[in-house]
């Protein structure tokens, strides 16, 4: 995923948390808000409760890859933040991918193509 398509600063995360809508499932929480751009920007926040940096980065990589492979299904023009829950460290890639898709569908961000 290109770096320009990522949320970086605390200001962007705060705006998404404060002004956006949210949905949750067992492994992840999604926050999203319109950004006025032609593409989506995503951010992934992983809590320290998950474990050490190796575990946190593994979850982050899995969520990023699940989004990247399914990006073509997602409506454009949003800032999206995925926040991990503690249960995310025990599951594999397929479960996290289905959790990401489930949240995107709940949020109404999946195109009906």
Contact (Cβ atoms closer than 8 angstroms) between residue 67 and residue 82: yes
CB atoms within 10 A of CB 64: 16
- Chain segment 82-98, per-residue pLDDT in tens: 999 999 999 999 999 99
pLDDT tier, 43 (very low <50, low <70, confident <90, very high otherwise): very high
Least confident segment among 16-30, 48-62, 63-77, 99-113:
99-113
51 pLDDT exceeds 70?
A: yes
pLDDT tier, 111 (very low <50, low <70, confident <90, very high otherwise): confident
Q: What is the pTM of this model?
A: 0.90
């Amino acid at each position: 995923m290109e770096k320009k398509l990522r949320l970086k600063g605390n200001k962007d995360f705060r705006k998404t948390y404060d002004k956006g809508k949210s949905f949750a499932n067992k492994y992840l929480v999604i926050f999203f808000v319109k950004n006025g751009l032609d593409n989506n920007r995503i951010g992934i926040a992983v809590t320290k409760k998950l474990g050490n940096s190796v575990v946190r980065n593994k979850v982050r990589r899995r969520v990023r890859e699940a989004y990247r492979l399914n990006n073509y299904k997602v409506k454009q023009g949003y800032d999206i933040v995925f926040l991990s829950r503690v249960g995310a460290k025990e599951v594999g890639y397929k479960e996290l991918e289905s959790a990401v898709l489930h949240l995107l569908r709940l949020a109404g961000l999946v195109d009906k193509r």
